[in-house]
Chains A and B, each alone.
Chain A
Amino acid sequence: MTTVSRPTAVPAPSTPDGAGPAGPPAHTPRRRPSLRGDGAWPWLFVTPLVAGVAVFYLWPILQTAGYSLTESGPFGGSTFAGIENYLALFADPRLYLSLANTLLYTGIVLLGIPLAVVLASLLNLPGLRFASLYRVLFFLPYVAMPTAVAMVWRVIFNGDFGLLNFLLGTVGIEGPYWISTPGAAVVAVAIVGLWSSLGFSMIVLAAGLKNIPPELYEAAELDGASRWRQFRAITVPLLTPSIFFVTIITVISSFQLFDLLYAILGSSNPVLPRSMSLVYFFYREGFVDNDKGYAAAIAMVVFLIIGLVTAVQFRLQRRWVHGD
């Protein structure tokens, strides 16, 4: 029988530019197909995508930046307004309210990550039966349509006949009117957010766990380290790159909160102005109140906040992410 090795394990033996600096060994040498270039072919390949991206993404980004400096007139025209939209926005309590709601939502959804670490390591136990069933159950909410699952959660959170308040009642707690109390509404939406993102974090972390060499556990076992000790001393530190990735993805997607909020609370909910997220605030200004310039300013500020938060995370990463 011959041994089958993964292609990445075998460095390509013959490289024409072998004299050049050697790349990292896991990287397949990238070779230019020919020295003359490929004539018109690359343009045929690239043009459809690049044109689409330029028209529907790059140009809109520039245009939005431009809009944020204009004031929309009542009849659709717009005039240059300088930084007035930004000044008005920074004086607008709704910005801080929607930012606070978004942060509260993000904070609660992030609680799912430690939970996902524990669940993923249980799921990865060697020889665990029903593992693929568990994977499907936990992953189901992630693939389900947010608008559709929102419908059932609306009823579960209902203050009068919801299942949640019934269960809380059996242990003597009187639950709030979740959907119609400003703070509780955000918490309710965040619980659903946690529920729907948990499976994704768990699966990414489980894939990360597969990369931890089993010898480490064997050695630890020989040294008499307890399960808990192994989890803390091996699993968690070696998993930090995956944990970092999942954290970044969770924060970025939580800042985009819209679908669940819109569908769980309902567009005519009187509590919405006090429970809205940043993106809902943007949607309301841009597409309900049709204040294009103001909405564009909100979009730019959200862009800035996400950029800042991500940059801070990458900075902090050096402190706690184990890597080489």
Chain B
Amino acid sequence: MATESILVPEGARRRGASRRRGSHVVAHVVLGTGGFIMAFPFLWQIIMSLSTNAEVQSVTPVLWPAELQWSNYAEVFDRLPFFDQLQTSVLITVIRTVAQILFCTLAGYAFARMRFRGSGVLLALVLSILMVPSQVYLLSQYQIIQGLGLLDSLGGLVLPGLFSAFGTFLMRTAFLAMPAELEEAARLDGANPFQIFWKIMLPLARPSISVLAITTALWSWNELLWPLVITTFSDRMPLSAGLATLIGDRTTDYPVVMAASLLAMAPILILFIVLQRRVIDGLASSGLK
């Protein structure tokens, strides 16, 4: 198949290419303008975070502050228990991601590769959750956490999110697609099922594991509703809920709010930009059954 394009005469290819290049102008104009609009709120946020409150509230927009107000960033730490919240966000994200990878790969592997009584029913029960919107279990999850005495604690923040039906589905699909020969060879060599899983199958599932890690990390870092419900003290909140406490003050200090928002987003955005190809391709492929 691929050789066909090589067989196309050089002249024809060049003509095709030049025609394409012509239409690229339109593409660049559209995508460039669109991309600018998409990124603009972030730029605007950076500019505002370095302005004075008067400049932000000026009726004619101030496109660049007269003097860069770096002190706004210092003030974030007076207004919010920022490091406590940052620590909470990091811990939630790391604990959930590690736990989901562990639990979902184990269960996904067993559902895909092992035979045991009741596996079909168990799998159906687990996957049935995928169809249920989160508020259906929210009330009751809250009560369980309350009953365990875990309100306003890290345990309460992470607990339900350690388990994921989506992750199990994703990992089961990944393990189903793998060839059985490797497992068989290992079994003949006397490896037990856990060794086969851990040493052979898990490394092969790396692409799907990274999709799971990315979706879990993004969701854990950004999520608002659960932390809002579980925490009441701002030093126990993750950044998402902590930021929300800054809204609704009568006299909003906009530049400081912008600086806080940027600081809260920065870790995940930097991680995204570093891993962009993997993140985008991973999420795109999660959309293709």
**222-239 of chain B: CB within 8 A of chain A:** 222-225, 228-229, 239
Total residues of chain B contacting the partner, CB 8 A: 119
Q: Which of B20, B23, B183, B244 contacts A262 (CB 8 A)?
A: B244
Q: In chain A, what residue has the closest Cβ to B273?
A: A136
B132 and A303 within 8 A (CB): yes
Instruction: Write 27 A-B pairs (CB below 8 A) sorted by A numbering.
Output: A33-B193, A41-B193, A48-B102, A49-B103, A49-B106, A49-B107, A50-B125, A53-B163, A56-B141, A67-B140, A118-B30, A123-B31, A127-B21, A127-B24, A132-B277, A140-B269, A140-B272, A147-B244, A149-B45, A152-B258, A155-B48, A204-B283, A207-B288, A245-B288, A259-B225, A287-B142, A295-B139
B136 and A64 within 8 A (CB): yes
A135 within 8 A of B: yes
B74 within 8 A of A: no
Contact residues of A: prevailing secondary structure:
helix
Q: In chain B, what residue has the closest Cβ to A215?
A: B4
Question: Which A residues are CB-close (under 8 A) to B260?
Answer: 151
**283-324 of chain A: CB within 8 A of chain B:** 283, 286-287, 292, 295-296, 298-300, 302-303, 306-307, 310
CB distance from B180 to the nearest CB of A (A): 4
Q: From B38, B109, B117, B159, name the one whose CB has the most chain A CB atoms within 10 angstroms.
A: B38
A45 and B48 within 8 A (CB): no
Q: In chain B, what residue has the closest Cβ to A139?
A: B280
Total residues of chain A contacting the partner, CB 8 A: 114
Q: From B44, B138, B223, B285, name the one whose CB has the most chain A CB atoms within 10 angstroms.
A: B138
Q: In chain B, what residue has the closest Cβ to A227?
A: B23
A143 and B272 within 8 A (CB): yes
B58 within 8 A of A: yes
CB distance from A164 to the nearest CB of B (A): 10
Question: Which B residues are CB-close (under 8 A) to A161?
Answer: 56-59, 61
Question: Which A residues are CB-close (under 8 A) to B16?
Answer: 221
B138 and A299 within 8 A (CB): yes
Question: Which A residues are CB-close (under 8 A) to B178?
Answer: 28
Interface readout for B101-124 with A: 1 if CB under 8 Å, 0 if not?
011101101111111110100100
Interface readout for A62-104 with B: 1 if CB under 8 Å, 0 if not?
0110010000000000000000000000000000000000000
